[in-house]
């Protein structure tokens, strides 16, 4: 396995039959983290149904959904089998897992001294930046390929 390779599209627009894309252990772990997020965030509503608890629940779910959707979109479009992308995906998974772990209780989440909100926000920011690295890399790879074809 190389240290770095240019990502390639998962599917080509041809008349050939497409091969089935296999789910990896990392993808299953990533999905399991989101199940934990929904479970932990659901406790905000289980304690007391109020608008305040609903908006905290909604905000955490939207932030985590954005991270999940971006990873799913990336994995459905491109594939790269190298150490650079594996480390990048592992860092994304750890960042999302740490964000999920910071969702403990509503009292800690609203207390700015405890650091739960800071941990959650920082991890979501890191995850977004890691996704941005992949999309910027993809942009430059496409530009490089267009220059080669001309």
pLDDT tens per residue across span 38-83: 888 888 788 788 888 888 889 888 988 888 888 888 888 888 889 9
* 18 occurs within a structural domain: no
The rounded radius of gyration (Å) of the Cα atoms in the chain is 19
Domain interval for residue 93: 24-149
* 15 occurs within a structural domain: no
pTM score: 0.81
- Structure confidence at residue 105 (pLDDT): 79
Give 123: exposed, middle or buried? Use CB within 10 Å, 0-12, 13-18, 19+: buried
* 119 occurs within a structural domain: yes
* 8 occurs within a structural domain: no
- Structure confidence at residue 13 (pLDDT): 66
* 2 occurs within a structural domain: no
What is d(CA 63, CA 14) in angstroms, rounded to the nearest whole number?
A: 37
* 11 occurs within a structural domain: no
* 17 occurs within a structural domain: no
- Structure confidence at residue 15 (pLDDT): 63
What is d(CA 59, CA 71) in angstroms, rounded to the nearest whole number?
A: 19
* 114 occurs within a structural domain: yes
20-29, 45-54, 92-101: segment of lowest average pLDDT: 20-29
CA nearest to 78, candidates 124, 141, 28, 16: 141
- Number of domains into which the chain is organized: 1
With vertex at residue 14, the alpha carbon angle to CA 13 and CA 17, rounded to the nearest 5 degrees, is 110
Which DSSP string do the residues of 31-79 spell out, in sequence order?
Answer: HHHHHHHHHHHHHHHHH---HHHHHHHHHHHHHHHHHHHHHHHHHHHEE
């Amino acid at each position: 396995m190389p240290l770095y390779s240019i990502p390639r599209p998962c599917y080509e627009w041809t008349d050939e039959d497409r091969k089935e894309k296999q789910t990896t252990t990392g993808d299953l772990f990533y999905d399991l983290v989101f199940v934990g997020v929904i479970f932990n965030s659901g406790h905000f509503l289980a304690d007391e149904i109020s608008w305040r608890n609903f908006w905290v629940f909604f905000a955490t779910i939207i932030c985590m959904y954005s991270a999940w959707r971006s990873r799913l979109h990336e994995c459905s479009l491109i594939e790269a089998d190298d150490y650079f992308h594996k480390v990048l995906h592992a860092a994304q998974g750890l960042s999302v897992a740490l964000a999920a772990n910071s969702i403990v209780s509503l009292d800690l989440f609203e207390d700015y001294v405890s650091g739960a909100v800071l941990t959650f926000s920082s991890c979501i920011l890191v995850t977004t930046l890691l996704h941005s690295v992949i999309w910027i890399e993809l942009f430059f790879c496409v530009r490089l390929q267009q220059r080669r074809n001309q």
